[in-house]
Amino acid sequence: MNANANPNAKGGRRIRNRDRPAEYFESEEYKQRMEDYEKRMEEYNRELRIEEHDKRQAQKLLEMRLEKSMGTQTETIPKPTYKELQKQPFLARIMATLETNDHDGYCSSEECEYKKKIVKMNIPVPDRYDSCPLGELKDEYLKYHNWANHLPVPEVNVEGSEYCRYHCPKGGVGPHEYRYTIKKVEIIENPKYDKSKDDYTTIKTITAGQMIAALSKLPPDAKLVITESGFYSNSEFSEIMLPEEYIVGSKSTIHERIRELSKGAKVYRIGHSEQHY
Same domain, 105 and 164: yes
Greatest CA span in the chain, whole angstroms? 96
Same domain, 148 and 237: no
Which residue, 133, 167, 192, sits at the end of a domain?
192
pLDDT of residue 110: 62
What span, in angstroms and rounded, lies between the C-alpha atoms of 178 and 157? 11
Q: Residue 266: which H helix or E strand, with range? A: strand 266-275
Inside any domain, residue 13: no
Same domain, 211 and 266: yes
Same domain, 53 and 101: no
Same domain, 166 and 266: no
Which residue, 166, 192, 218, sits at the end of a domain?
192
Same domain, 175 and 99: yes
Same domain, 243 and 219: yes
Question: 86: helix, coil or strand?
Answer: helix
Per-residue b/e over 4-25, b at no fewer than 16 CB within 10 Å? eeeeeeeeeeeeeeeeeeeeee
139 phi, psi to nearest 5 deg: -55, -35
Same domain, 112 and 167: yes
pLDDT in tens, 142-179: 888 999 999 999 988 887 666 676 777 787 888 889 99
Averaged pLDDT score across all residues of the chain: 82
Strand partners, 165: 111
Residue 9 has pLDDT above 50, yes or no: no
What span, in angstroms and rounded, lies between the C-alpha atoms of 262 and 250? 11
Residue 12 has pLDDT above 60, yes or no: no
Could you please report the per-residue DSSP string of 174-237? -TTEEEEEEEEEEEEE-TT--GGG-SS-PPP---HHHHHHHHTTS-TT--EEEEEEESS--SSS
Average pLDDT over residues 205-215: 86
Which residue, 173, 192, 211, sits at the end of a domain?
192
CA distances from 270 to 130, 201, 222 (A): 25, 18, 12
Per-residue b/e over 220-230, b at no fewer than 16 CB within 10 Å? eeeeebebeee
Same domain, 37 and 55: yes
Inside any domain, residue 9: no
Inside any domain, residue 74: no
What span, in angstroms and rounded, lies between the C-alpha atoms of 274 and 233? 7
Inside any domain, residue 4: no
Could you please report the per-residue DSSP string of 10-40? TT-PBPPGGGS-GGGGGSHHHHHHHHHHHHH
- C-beta separation of 223 from 253 below 8 A: no
Number of compact structural domains in the chain: 3
pLDDT in tens, 50-66: 999 999 999 998 999 99
Same domain, 219 and 243: yes
Inside any domain, residue 60: yes
Strand partners, 65: none
Same domain, 186 and 230: no
Inside any domain, residue 115: yes
Q: Which has more pLDDT, 199 or 76?
A: 76
Inside any domain, residue 145: yes
Same domain, 167 and 206: no
Instruction: Supply the range of the domain harboring residue 179.
Output: 82-192
Question: 117: helix, coil or strand?
Answer: strand
Given CA atoms 124, 126, 132, 136 in this order, what sign does their dihedral have?
A: negative
Inside any domain, residue 75: no
Lowest-confidence range among 142-146, 194-198, 200-204, 221-225?
200-204
